[in-house]
Amino acid sequence: MSQYYNPNRKRNLYDSNSAELFRLSRSKIDLFLNCPRCFYLDRKLGVAQPPGYPFSLNSAVDKLLKKEFDIHRAKGTKHPLMARYGIDAIPLTHEKIDEWRDSMRRGITVQIHGSNVVVTGGIDDVWINPQEEFIIVDYKATSKETEVTLDADWQIGYKRQMEIYQWLFRQNGYKVSPTGYFVYCNGDADKEAFDAKLEFDIKILLYIGNSDWVEQTILDAIKCLQSDNLPLSGQDCDFCKYREAVKQFEK
């Protein structure tokens, strides 16, 4: 991974005076909430946290799920999982669905009034119900012995993700249901043999989102970037704790 990591990035830095639009992704908003200092170092000074390894298996599951739901999108029918869970909706057919899924280059976007900041997000899927409300859907993959839930403290990031997406679509003028769904794939490691095949137990988890916090958080993040002072660290930021621990020996 080191060949791709640049600890002194010069591009994609926030400059309030620039005529070029600055893309602020959903994941960076989450970073701001977790640690304003790491957010400032990354987005304004070009010093990002070292990247983790890519989750290739998760990406494969994501791609296969999209293919499955796209089959039913083309037919205007429910995926069997939706029928099993009694979800009165079908995958949305829309000319921008591929654009919205492209988190790196396009996604769904909103420019913040009075700034050069464009908030972006790349969704996994959108369904639509008989009330013509958009339903935001996110795919997740894991492998654990216990039942998958949304109850763990660290999964607050999943919930924020859903709520930011709901906010983005509402800001674009779409009618959005507060109900979102996580299509959660849990790899089964209890089979007697691998047989070159990994099987998943797939569940749909309902989540009622509340995006009331999103806009103010974005404004706070922009205000943070506009400051000339390095903000405080997040209370539970492991990266900042590591840097502080290293300083003791470097001195």
Domain positions in the chain:
3-7+19-246
Confidence at residue 10, expressed as pLDDT on a 0 to 100 scale: 84
Domain 3-7+19-246: which topology?
Lambda Exonuclease; Chain A (3.90.320)
pLDDT class of 150 with cuts at 50, 70, 90: confident
User: Taking residues 136-149, what's their average pLDDT?
Assistant: 83
Q: How far is the C-alpha of 108 from the C-alpha of 99, rounded, in Å?
A: 7
Residue 1: pLDDT over 50: no
| C-alpha separations of 72 from 10, 58, 75, 91 in Å | 44, 22, 5, 7
Question: Percentages helix, strand, coil for the chain, rounded to the nearest 5?
Answer: 40, 20, 45
Quote the pLDDT of residue 75: 94
Indicate if the pLDDT at residue 188 is higher than 90: no
- Per-residue pLDDT of 53-89, as tens digits, reads 666 677 888 889 999 999 999 999 999 999 999 999 9
**pLDDT of 193 over the 70 cut:** no
Q: With 60 as the cut, is the pLDDT of residue 3 above it?
A: no
Strands 108-111 and 117-121: antiparallel
Percent of the chain with pLDDT over 70: 92
Q: Average pLDDT for residues 117-125, to the nearest whole number?
A: 95
Q: Angle 238-250/36-43 helices, nearest 10 degrees?
A: 80
Q: What is the mean pLDDT of residues 215-235?
A: 95
- Give the pTM: 0.90
Asked if residue 98 has pLDDT above 90, the reply is yes
CB proximity list for 3: less than 8 A, separation 6 or greater: none
pLDDT at 15 over 70: yes
Share of the chain above pLDDT 90, in %: 66
- Per-residue pLDDT band for 190 (boundaries 50, 70, 90) equals low
Side by side, which strands form the sheet with 22-25? 22-25, 117-121, 108-111
Listed in order, strand segments (DSSP E) in the chain are 22-25, 90-91, 108-111, 117-121, 125-128, 134-142, 179-187, 200-208
- 149/10: higher pLDDT: 10
Confirm if 177 and 134 have CB atoms less than 8 A apart. yes
Q: Is the pLDDT of residue 192 over 80?
A: no
User: How does pLDDT run across 163-177, given as a tens digit for each residue?
Assistant: 999 999 999 999 999
Please report the sign of the dihedral spanned by the C-alpha atoms of residue 234, residue 237, residue 242, residue 243: negative
**What is residue 12's predicted lDDT score, i.e. its pLDDT?**
87
Q: What is the mean pLDDT of residues 30-46?
A: 95
Q: How confident is the model at residue 189 (pLDDT cuts 50, 70, 90)?
A: low
